[in-house]
Amino acid sequence: MDFIERAPRNLFFTGKGGVGKTSVACATAVALAERGRRVLLVSTDPASNLDEVLETKLGSLPVPIAGVSGLFALNIDPEAAAHAYRERMVGPYRGVLPDAAVRSIEEQLSGACTVEIAAFDEFSKLLGDASATRDFDHVVFDTAPTGHTLRLLELPAAWTGFLETNVGGTSCLGPLAGLKAQQALYDASRAALVDSSRTALVLVSRAEQSALREAERTRRELSALGITRLELFINGIFRAQSECDAVAMAMQRRGEDALAAMPQGLRDLSRTELPLLPFGLVGMTALRMLFGPRNADTALAIDASIAMAAVVLPPLAELIPKLEEGGRGVIMTMGKGGVGKTSVAVSIAVELARRGHKVHLTTTDPAAHVAEAIGQAVDGVRVSRIDPVAETRAYADEVMRAAGANLDAAGRALLEEDLRSPCTEEIAVFRAFARVVDGGEHGFVVIDTAPTGHTLLLLDAAESYHREVLRTSGSAPEEVRRLLPRLRDPSFTKILLVTLPEATPVHEAAALQRDLLRAEIRPFAWVVNQSLVPLSVTDLVLARRRVNEVRFHAEVRELASRVALVPWSNPKALVRLDLVATSSTRGQLEVNAAAG
């Protein structure tokens, strides 16, 4: 494969959630290693699924992957990195400063800012410190979905700029002396990112309009960061084997239409196309098939051993009366990127509005497309998004008005300097999230969340702030003080875990459910989205995928207190993403839509 032969030392795989970044990154790492190269595969996703795909338990240090000589892998664990970072910052003061002072520093370093900078430090070492990866010919980064990754790639410049202009010597992360020591590392990371002889960014997409639009936005933003070596992978291209299968033909047309409308910026990139396979890409045998020869008969023999057990899941419409109880509150869709959280959130918002409720539909996803998904205005639905740039500006203005009013010029300068820290954005976005949740007191708020890793960091922030509020009388706004109790109240907040009927999305949602339960937040229901099981398909690839789904329906049934199912559909053929419609009404809606 041409791409493998010309791969530079550093490779980043990024794209919209669910497009197959991890599969493509893993298959690339395997292919490089099997050409005799020594390869380190790294996940920067807080909700990494490398362990499952590689069938190997990973940690924060390189672990050899069985069956592939020369391949090692690790996960950057933000919490573990934050713990190590805190110890590095606080350790020198233990036994030197009074215990109360040490505890104060520890509390200062307990927030989301520390988690971000600690994970960023680990990332920077692998990219900017040649000695840390000198045993490897290639470092392959499997990144989190786009919004989180763009933030990560912007940080070398953001922190370098902050350190260069800061003259006060302080930050929300404590004394800058410790951060200054990292400046050379951040500079080296930035240099590596923009050096096309050392680094390539691979935009992974599906042949879907939303994924390609996000890839184009990412291309523009990466270009603005000075990253010039970009490549494009179109993953999961499907071609029907027979015109007699209506579902297969609809799926093929959707892909063809999306590729025909692909933005020119993406067309200009070097492109690699990969087919939709009839099985999940878990384990070395499956990963080798992505780039190499595929033995369909073998795949069929494996899949055919699974019986089509009759696990009947109710439609999404059956959840609506329960969601509607109380006439107010917050409904949040969560799950892995690309599982259809936005579509489900939009459908529920529209259905609640149809039933006469006022609904605020919003998103915490930095790569949000909720407004695009809903399209034209809907009576009763107000659409917004949490804009990190606008929220940061508003928060900084508020702090300057409140805290800076009684300061002298030097004090105001120091405060302004502190607010230029990249951490300010984390605080501003968190406060905006608390404000949105507060709106559930007066009607329905439907929140389409970012992919799992980003959402976990947001919930971690909620817990950190809650501890801080309990510890001090504080001046936190009321909506911040009440955020965690509201999220824990099942009559106020109803969380829907959305998944596809595939291994990785189901297991990531299961892990998210465990994390939520540890935070005393109980999910309301699961939604199995885009299922082929209720449909009649004859295409061999789709028929095999349909058989594979059955085990995951049963697994979700075991995990969830409530479940709803949404059949596969082509969103462009439906009116207003009407996933709540029953099968019979959906058919009529499609007829109406076709009639214009």
Q: Residues 6 or more apart from 342 whose CB is under 8 A from it? A: 333, 363, 365, 368, 369, 370, 373, 448
The residue annotated as part of the active site, out of 14, 15, 17, 22, is 22
The residue annotated as part of the active site, out of 14, 15, 28, 45, is 45
Distance CA(373)–CA(577), nearest Å, equals 8
3-state secondary structure string across 430-463: HHHHHHHHHHHHCCEEEEECCCHHHHHHHHHHHH
45 is known as an active-site residue: yes
Question: What Å distances lie between residue 282 and 20, 277, 287, CA to CA?
Answer: 12, 12, 7
Distance CA(468)–CA(466), nearest Å, equals 5
Q: Nearest Cα to 42, choosing from 70, 77, 85, 69?
A: 77
Question: What Å distances lie between residue 278 and 304, 413, 538, CA to CA?
Answer: 12, 60, 13
The residue annotated as part of the active site, out of 14, 17, 21, 343, is 21
The position carrying tokens 């309009």 is 209
The residue annotated as part of the active site, out of 347, 504, 531, 569, is 504
Question: What Å distances lie between residue 204 and 12, 51, 57, 289, 398, CA to CA?
Answer: 10, 20, 25, 18, 39
Q: Which residues are registered as beta bridge partners of 40?
A: 72, 139
CA atoms 431, 432, 437, 441: torsion sign: positive
Distance CA(196)–CA(74), nearest Å, equals 25
N-terminal to C-terminal alpha carbon distance within the chain: 45
180 is known as an active-site residue: no
Report the run of H or E that residue 487 belongs to, with start and end. helix 483-488
Neighbours of 329 (CB within 10 A): 22
Cβ contact 386:363 at 8 Å: yes
Q: For residue 491, what are its two tokens?
A: 């009559």
In single-letter form, the type of residue at position 537 comes to V
439 is known as an active-site residue: no
Q: Nearest Cα to 336, choosing from 526, 508, 143, 567?
A: 508
Distance CA(215)–CA(206), nearest Å, equals 10
493 is known as an active-site residue: no
Question: What Å distances lie between residue 248 and 258, 409, 531, 539, 569, CA to CA?
Answer: 16, 68, 13, 7, 11
343 is known as an active-site residue: no
283 is known as an active-site residue: no
305 DSSP assignment = T
Distance CA(235)–CA(566), nearest Å, equals 23
596 is known as an active-site residue: no
The residue annotated as part of the active site, out of 14, 16, 17, 23, is 23
Cβ contact 348:332 at 8 Å: no
Dihedral of the CA atoms 418, 423, 424, 430 (nearest 10)?
A: -150
The catalytic residues are: 18, 20-23, 45, 504
